[in-house]
Amino acid sequence: MDFELGEVLLVNKPLTWTSFDVVNKLRYALKKKLGNKIKVGHAGTLDPLATGLLIICTGKMTKKIDEFTGMDKEYTGSFFIGGTTATYDSELEMNATFATGHIDEPMLLTVAQSFVGDIEQMPPIYSAIKIDGSAAYIAARKGEEVVMKARHVTIKEFELTKIEMPLVHFRVVCSKGTYIRSLAYDYGKALNSGAYLAGLCRTKIGGYDVKDAKDVETWVREITG
């Protein structure tokens, strides 16, 4: 592989790693192999509590990162119904609980379909979106007020793959910029209850599939070997 000319590496990001952890690990391996610095970047952040497909570009392929980030994404995962958290996922403890006795399977399915199409979504305050040049989550963790702006996104498919309350398992195909954590929060609200993201895996980016991805250590061995 010619990493300086440019390669696209499909990585299956492990749980708790940040996207930058993956970039730094591979950049270090490449520097060790080549003996000099090389451009390395990722095409679309995955939260630490998410797993799955992360596209890493090296060398001249880093110029095409925007093309990858603009592609549709597919995710699978699960929502916890009946509670919310400040981060909209399981990073923090629940800050509120809600009734779920009125929720049945037809309601879950109908409400899911109501999100399909062009929607307006408010990103989580615990996100990497820049506000005044700094990531929103930095201010949120300091307890400072964070004002987010709604964004237009497209949910192309929203399928419930298994229902075992309080967990609802799903598959979503969506446009660039969609926050599945926000989808979880809004879904819970639309159910006249609450919900947060209990687990998430990015399975596809455009035509790229996590089934073809390798874990970080495998890539390190291939680069340095």
At 140, the pLDDT band (50, 70, 90 cuts) reads confident
Catalytic residue of the set 2, 21, 47, 104: 47
Which segments of 62-135 does DSSP mark as H helices, in order? Answer: 65-69, 105-113
Which position has the higher pLDDT, 88 or 129?
88
Quick check: 70 and 176 in contact, CB under 8 A? yes
C-alpha 39/C-alpha 3 separation (Å) is: 9
* Residue 121 pLDDT: 96
Whether 1 has a pLDDT exceeding 90, the answer reads no
**Residue 89 CB coordination number (10 Å):** 25
The per-residue pLDDT for range 61-75, each reduced to its tens digit, is 999 999 999 999 999
CA triplet 78, 83, 88: central angle to 5 degrees?
65
The per-residue pLDDT for range 167-205, each reduced to its tens digit, is 999 999 999 999 999 999 999 999 999 999 999 999 999
* Residue 185 pLDDT: 97
C-alpha 89/C-alpha 100 separation (Å) is: 18
List the structure tokens of 197: 């993201």
- From residue 170, give the alpha-carbon distance in Å to each of 42, 144, 162, 181: 25, 33, 7, 13
Whether 145 has a pLDDT exceeding 90, the answer reads no
List the structure tokens of 70: 């603009």
The per-residue pLDDT for range 38-96, each reduced to its tens digit, is 999 999 889 999 999 999 999 999 999 999 999 999 999 999 999 999 999 999 999 99
Whether 139 has a pLDDT exceeding 80, the answer reads no
C-alpha 88/C-alpha 188 separation (Å) is: 11
- What does DSSP assign to residue 48? T
The pair phi, psi for residue 13, each rounded to 5°, is -65, 130
* Residue 104 pLDDT: 98
**Residue 201 CB coordination number (10 Å):** 18
Q: Active-site residue 47, yes or no?
A: yes
In this prediction, residues 112-131 reach a mean pLDDT of 88
* Residue 225 pLDDT: 82
CB contact set of 87 (below 8 Å; sequence gap of 6+): 124, 126, 181, 196
C-alpha 71/C-alpha 204 separation (Å) is: 10
pTM for this model (two decimals): 0.92
Superfamily of domain 8-70+207-224: Pseudouridine synthase (3.30.2350.10)
Whether 130 has a pLDDT exceeding 90, the answer reads no
At 143, the pLDDT band (50, 70, 90 cuts) reads confident
Domain ranges across the chain = 8-70+207-224, 73-205
pLDDT above 70: percentage of residues in the chain: 100
* Residue 131 pLDDT: 73
Whether 144 has a pLDDT exceeding 80, the answer reads no
> How distant is the alpha carbon of residue 206 from its chain centre?
15
* Residue 5 pLDDT: 92
Superfamily of domain 73-205: Pseudouridine synthase (3.30.2350.10)
Identical fold, 8-70+207-224 and 73-205: yes
C-alpha 221/C-alpha 208 separation (Å) is: 22
CA triplet 46, 71, 157: central angle to 5 degrees?
85
C-alpha 188/C-alpha 186 separation (Å) is: 5
